Structure 1
Amino acid sequence: MTYSDVLIIGSGIAALQLASQLSQDKNVRIITKSTVRTANSYLAQGGIAAAIGKEDHPDKHHTDTLEAGRFHNHEETVRKIIDEAPKLIQEMYKKGCHFDHDSEGNLLLGMEGAHSEKRIVHGGGDATGKRMIEFLLTQLKANIFLEENIYVYELIVDEKQEKCIGVKGKRLDGSIEYFFAQHIVLATGGCGQLYSFTSNAETVTGDGIVMAYLAGAEIADMEFIQFHPTLLYVNGETKGLVSEAVRGEGAILVDENDVPIMEGVHPYKDLAPRHVVSQTIYENIKKGKQVFLDISNIKNFENRFPSITLLCTQNDIKLKDGKIPVVPGSHFLMGGIKTDFIGRSSIKNLYAIGEASCTGLHGANRLASNSLLEGLYQGKMLAELINVEDRANPPQEYLTIVYPVVKKQHHLPDIVTLQTRMMEYVGIVRSKESLTVQRKWLDQFGLKQIGRELDGCSSEDLTKIFMLTAAKLITNAALLRTESRGGHFRSDYPFEDDLNWCKKQIVYQRQGEKSNEYVKAALAN
């Protein structure tokens, strides 16, 4: 058993930003279930949005964020984070993070979908996430201890004091270890691996969100899944992300007959909000058409997008032909553990930052390149909050807790079956019929009882349990929201319903049946 002042679960941008900003008198431990360089953040090709151009202003960035989020956003949170964006970028740049710039040191700004100005800061062309992670790793001080390959699977909550006091984790050999801390931070990302087509790392399976839900924290907006329009599609499989920045540089989406598919669909055409582009591609694919990204107008593509060039080369795509085959896939979760803009959850001493959290910044659909920004902001602000708090002495009564372990075997489906069903029934286009079919299928696995018996489960079964539980949260929320908004599209309710749904969140809270009235109504049907 170990005790830390701050325990961080996850190793992406938000986690490392927090760790690097914490005071050196804090004892900090970072735990990640794989390795530090397998986080979603490390794979991020896109950049960070910030209104630093001469013609730009935070007000424009604010407006674009609300428009993309279909006005489901928490406006105060949007304002706080967007206003801070230029300062966050400049701070990292001055510290030595190598963002792309011209010969005079001015940051180069790119355009992405749903932005009204060029405001995307990149690093290494299309390797922004990798460059930022590598930089933040150099900022970690001697007071920070990083442990890889520990699968954190349960939060330990002191029910009398109503606060989180630690976590349980499994090592590669199956042994269980308990980690206690004054502050517990979940930075575990979203749940993109629930879908058969996804841009997400293999480790992104909803762990932190489900752990928080099982512990009684509030979970919100799980129906809002962003499907990225352009994943490389080869032989029926997705092979990786083709950044939106490619369309920002002039690429257009065409069908197999070279007909542009975004003409007449949206005023921004190929740079329309992601849900619009994804749905349009999906409709073409359902009609039996193949969709390509036509890159023939982009000069020096290989130099501008080296990571994408390598990805295509590895999958035998000949860029000289000027076409990249694409398909939409799950990319980002707008919902998650409900927090304030800093990351405080509904459970004392438990925080969530990055994609695992739901601050309200993204609303119903994330504006491109706002996610790394959110992680940087939350990491910095949460560090400022924790830094001024007095250190607490390790509570000895916690360190002597013994948890009996009983081996458990559960009848659970294979992951591929779950992913295929989520793509088909709870994917880009949903309906009451498809969602009801999926909910009935999920109900058969007895997840409520299983969630109380995690110690004896193998790591493989834990992953399935987390994925199935997250799938159920998404399915129930999607069934309840009887409208289409942002990343949530219902073919039986194809229009936004501002009167009944614009600002209303679907909030789950397991303990004490505290879910809001919308959830109770849905679960009763």
Structure 2
Amino acid sequence: MSPSSEIVIVGGGLAGLFCALKLDRPVTVLTVTPLGEGASAWAQGGIAAAIGEGDTPEAHAADTIAAGAGIVDPEIAQLIAEEAGQRIDDLLRYGVPFDRDLEGKLALSREAAHRARRIVRVRGDLAGKAIMAALVSAVRSNDEIRIVENWSLTSLRTENGRVTGVTGAIVGGRPTTIPARAVILATGGIGHLYAVTTNPVGSRGDGLAAAALAGAVLADTEFVQFHPTGIDIGRDPAPLATEALRGDGAILINGLGERFMPKLHPDAELGPRDVVARGVFAEIAAGRGAFLDARQAIGARFPDLFPTVYATCTAAGIDPTIQPIPIAPAAHYHMGGVKTDRDGRTSLAGLWACGEVASTGVHGANRLASNSLLEAIVFAARIADDVNGEIVPSSVSPADGDATAVAALLAPDTPAMMELRRIMSRQVGVLRDADGIASALAHLRAIDRDRAAPQALRRMAIAGLLVASPAWARHESRGGHARTDYPDANPSLQHRTILTLDKARAIADEAAQHVIEAAE
């Protein structure tokens, strides 16, 4: 690659590609996976948008606020709800084949905690794949967008408090630094910090760790959403049984054939994801197992309505038209991330963030279903407008590079990485307590302090610290953060968490003292 670029986007998922297209100027996109193969392509449910008859942005925002367990920023919830229709129109112009009804209108489905049918989908469970295919085609035909694939971020370059470039490498290659006038982080989430996850191996929290190491302010990082219906067939990542199945009437049962959600929430299977995930977890912990049963609600229509889930099940020897699907909670989405304002600006000049790596304030403690793809495109567009207004175009061209895929694979997990993932799942997972979190923090802090540790492992440990430290400090249960030793919400803690890496390390050191005292 050439040594500089006007604008660099780190991440080739929905947020990164949508932002590149909206910039409409020279830009370099660096992506850790071949284009179109990241987590965005795996999204099944769709995009939430209040575009149906009788629905309103205000109602969508209200559902978002209710799901977020008291700490959603109401202005941001209203903002993304109001801009949803425009962004859906953008995707239609890029060629996304959203489902339509017999009158040619966009077909809308319902998902958990939505009070209206407002989810636009593609063939039931193919939204992510179809959206990414359309965007990849648009990007590859745009001469102003340069794509560099299999490129892994290691750090952000800063000068006098401003981000001035990125450092990383083609997987297996030598590290290089690319100076840039604007850096946009769109690196995705942290699900691969957990042993059971729906996220690909690239979701190790590299973007979160890099921003934290550069001094960025973070928010709400203790809140991790566990999807209740990861398909439990021993695969890593765990395949996902989309929530739309429950929206279409599938139920949750245990190994005795008993429904268990009606006694846990008035909306039963369509309750908030954190409630449903804990219900599934409890059945598994009790030895009864948990299953998604679509036999009556969907039955023989399963292959046509949900082809991705059907193919996954049949490959594992399960026929979901006549058999319940074994499930387990899987780390799915990170509500927290790099704190941004309404235009995607972070606390560091020259750095913007969008998609799952960002914390905009819209998700609170528990993301509303199908708001993630919406948040990604709304903020990608807002960042493009903001960068276009701030960065005056110069003569710099996008960085040179081969836009074809590099023959390299993302490095697989080492034994130390697998141990870190197991610790996160056991001790900072669906259910948490002080002793478990403190023990995890001691392990993560030891890796963080070890300058001889492999850099990829150390970045994972830093990302883990950013989740576990505020989880230890938040003495309550709220949304995706459930403490068995503090099972109730504390009204005095009904606020967002604001964090830096230095503060996270200080909390970890305090927790280490807890471990010492507990052992005495």
TM-score by length of 1: 0.90
Equivalent residue number for residue 474 of structure 1: 467
Equivalent residue number for residue 213 of structure 1: 212
Equivalent residue number for residue 439 of structure 1: 441
Please state whether the residue corresponding to 1:436 is helix, strand or coil.
helix
The answer to whether the Cα contact below 8 Å between 1:507 and 1:519 also exists between their aligned partners in 2 is: no
Matches within 5 A, 1:79-478: 79-140=78-139, 141-159=142-160, 162-235=161-234, 239-296=238-295, 297-299=297-299, 300-389=301-390, 390-392=392-394, 414-445=416-447, 447-448=448-449, 450=451, 461-478=454-471
Q: Does 1:502 align with 2:494?
A: yes
Regions of 4+ moved over 6 Å = 515-525
Note the C-alpha offset of 1:482: 0.4
Note the C-alpha offset of 1:322: 3.1
What letter corresponds to residue 181 of structure 1 in structure 2? A
The answer to whether the Cα contact below 8 Å between 2:477 and 2:487 also exists between their aligned partners in 1 is: yes
Please state whether the residue corresponding to 1:36 is helix, strand or coil.
coil
Please state whether the residue corresponding to 1:386 is helix, strand or coil.
helix
Q: Aligned equivalents of 2:378 and 2:361: distance in 1?
A: 14
How many equivalent residue pairs? 492
Residue deviations 1:54-95, cap 9 Å, x none? 121111111110111012111111111111112211332244
What letter corresponds to residue 298 of structure 1 in structure 2? I
Cα-Cα RMSD = 2.2
Residue deviations 1:374-407, cap 9 Å, x none? 011011111111223312577xxxxxxxxxxxxx
Inter-CA distance 111–414: structure 2 relative to 1 (3 Å threshold): same
Give the stretch that moved more between structures: 162-171 or 191-200. 162-171
Give the stretch that moved more between structures: 377-386 or 314-323. 314-323
Inter-CA distance 372–316: structure 2 relative to 1 (3 Å threshold): same
The answer to whether the Cα contact below 8 Å between 2:432 and 2:483 also exists between their aligned partners in 1 is: yes
Equivalent residue number for residue 408 of structure 2: none
Equivalent residue number for residue 485 of structure 1: 478
What letter corresponds to residue 11 of structure 2 in structure 1? G
What letter corresponds to residue 298 of structure 2 in structure 1? I
Note the C-alpha offset of 1:236: 8.3
Inter-CA distance 520–87: structure 2 relative to 1 (3 Å threshold): farther
What letter corresponds to residue 276 of structure 1 in structure 2? V
Q: Aligned equivalents of 1:173 and 1:519: distance in 2?
A: 33
Note the C-alpha offset of 1:413: 5.9
Q: Which runs of 5+ in 2 are unaligned?
A: 397-413, 515-520
Equivalent residue number for residue 36 of structure 2: 37
The answer to whether the Cα contact below 8 Å between 1:233 and 1:325 also exists between their aligned partners in 2 is: yes
Please state whether the residue corresponding to 2:9 is helix, strand or coil.
strand
Please state whether the residue corresponding to 1:30 is helix, strand or coil.
strand
Equivalent residue number for residue 76 of structure 1: 75
Q: Aligned equivalents of 1:520 and 1:344: distance in 2?
A: 30
Q: Which runs of 5+ in 1 are unaligned?
A: 395-411
Q: Aligned equivalents of 1:237 and 1:179: distance in 2?
A: 33
TM-score by length of 2: 0.90
Inter-CA distance 236–29: structure 2 relative to 1 (3 Å threshold): closer
Note the C-alpha offset of 1:443: 2.6
Note the C-alpha offset of 1:238: 6.2
Q: Aligned equivalents of 2:394 and 2:442: distance in 1?
A: 47
The answer to whether the Cα contact below 8 Å between 1:182 and 1:392 also exists between their aligned partners in 2 is: no
Q: Aligned equivalents of 1:92 and 1:37: distance in 2?
A: 15
The answer to whether the Cα contact below 8 Å between 1:155 and 1:215 also exists between their aligned partners in 2 is: yes
